[in-house]
Amino acid sequence: MTKDRILTTCELLYSTHFVPMAVIDGGEVELFCSYEGYKEVFKKLSGSAKEGEKITLINGAVGLYGAVKAGGLIVLAGPYLNKQTESGLDALIHRYELDIKERENLKQFLLSIPRCSLNTFLNFLVLLHFLFNGERLSIVDFFKDAQPALQRKMGKDSVKDVFEENEIPHGTYQLEQQLLDYVSAGDVAGLELFFDKIARAEPLSEGKLADDNLRQSKNIFIGLISMVGKGGAIRGNLDIEQTYSLIDLYTQECERCTSVSQINQLRYTAILDFTRRVAEQKHPDAYSSEVFRALQFIKSHTNQPIGVDDVLNEVKKSRSVFMEQFKKETGETLGRYITKAKLEEAKLLLAYSDKSLPAISNTLYFSSQSYFQNLFKKQYGITPLEYRKTHHKG
């Protein structure tokens, strides 16, 4: 992307999202979108952009900033603010040697920045990287890797506020049921996509279970991991004794955690561990590594127009050899398995979303709504609407 396009893109993003942004070229501010008195802060922050990092998170006294490389330029965005204090404002003025006479203007500028969740801010940085570098990062992987650094950079109080759950309505039941379906199916690829989807949404409250934030997170984790084990893994035929041992193991590990970010990381790891164990016993050694890779590829691309050739390209095998191998190990032709995977995803969308039938058909790249409905009824014996009436969780 040319420099002019980068500058124009930043101007348009600011006009729609109102997140302060700056473009730095050779240490100088080439473009600044927002209150001019803050330009010096961005100029000094640009020196913290790390070489080799796709997105650098920077602590800047009053909040968190993100730096994204765009060719030879650095695009800065922020600050992400979860709380503004008078002491924080004084620290900002002192650290960046700003004019004390501008204190009230700075205060009003910071108050004017739209408040958002940490996930939303991280997704904004991921969007910048995609626009300027053409690479889509997984917010799940980025957030997972970033959490320990976030805790160090933002400080204990800020991290506590990030994960503090208030003024957000309860709304986790449907998500919990969908999560358990992925675990019990041993659907690792589907679960990772589910996590990615959740990471793009606003955080949902579990309700206040303790006065202390760390204790609150531990209580939520213990309840969740017990539910995942009993309601997901055992339902997926994982050995009962093994499941209870894992619940005990992860509960003990949770109690050893000393920060909210460690617990969040452990939660992600534990749920995937349960799901992989279910998958392993559902997919025994009879599946070769190539066929198992094909199965995972298909499940993670149901919302894309994939065909037999795409799967063959993924496993790097010749058509004649792999088609025979796939049919022998799964009992299904490759094309038929792709269709069945899309239909299974359609069941989840019918049960856990309010998407219309045309929208579901388009999302899963069926050639037409009528074709989708005919396939669904042939596979399950009922129409998609009949399935929704009896299985919808709304």
Distance CA 198, CA 246 (A): 25
Are 103 and 87 within 8 A, CB to CB?
A: no
Q: Is the pTM of this model over 0.85?
A: no
Buried b (16+ CB within 10 A) or exposed e, 322-344: bbebbeebbeeebeebbbebbbb
- 185 near 278, Cβ under 8 Å? yes
394 residues of the chain, pLDDT tens digit each: 899 999 999 999 988 888 999 999 988 999 988 888 888 899 888 888 888 788 888 887 678 889 999 988 999 998 887 666 777 788 888 888 888 888 888 888 888 888 777 778 888 998 999 999 998 886 665 555 555 555 444 444 433 433 343 333 344 666 788 888 889 888 888 888 777 766 555 444 444 444 567 888 888 889 899 999 998 998 888 878 778 888 988 888 888 888 887 888 888 888 988 998 888 776 555 578 888 889 878 877 888 899 999 999 999 999 999 999 999 888 899 999 999 989 988 988 888 778 899 999 999 999 999 999 999 999 999 999 999 998 876 5
What DSSP line would sit under 17-75, residue for residue?
A: H---EEEEETTEEEEEES-GGGHHHHHHHGGGPPTT-SEEEEE-SSSEEEEEEETTEEE
Beta bridge partners of 33: 21
DSSP-assigned letter for residue 102? G
What the block records as the tokens of 294 is: 């094909």
- Select from 217, 249, 247, 87 the least CA-distant residue to 147: 217
Q: Residue 191 to residues 83, 106, 233, 362: CA-CA distances in angstroms?
A: 33, 43, 13, 21
pLDDT tens digits along 285-329: 557 888 888 987 887 788 889 999 999 999 999 999 999 999 988
Cα(294)–Cα(283) distance, integer angstroms: 13
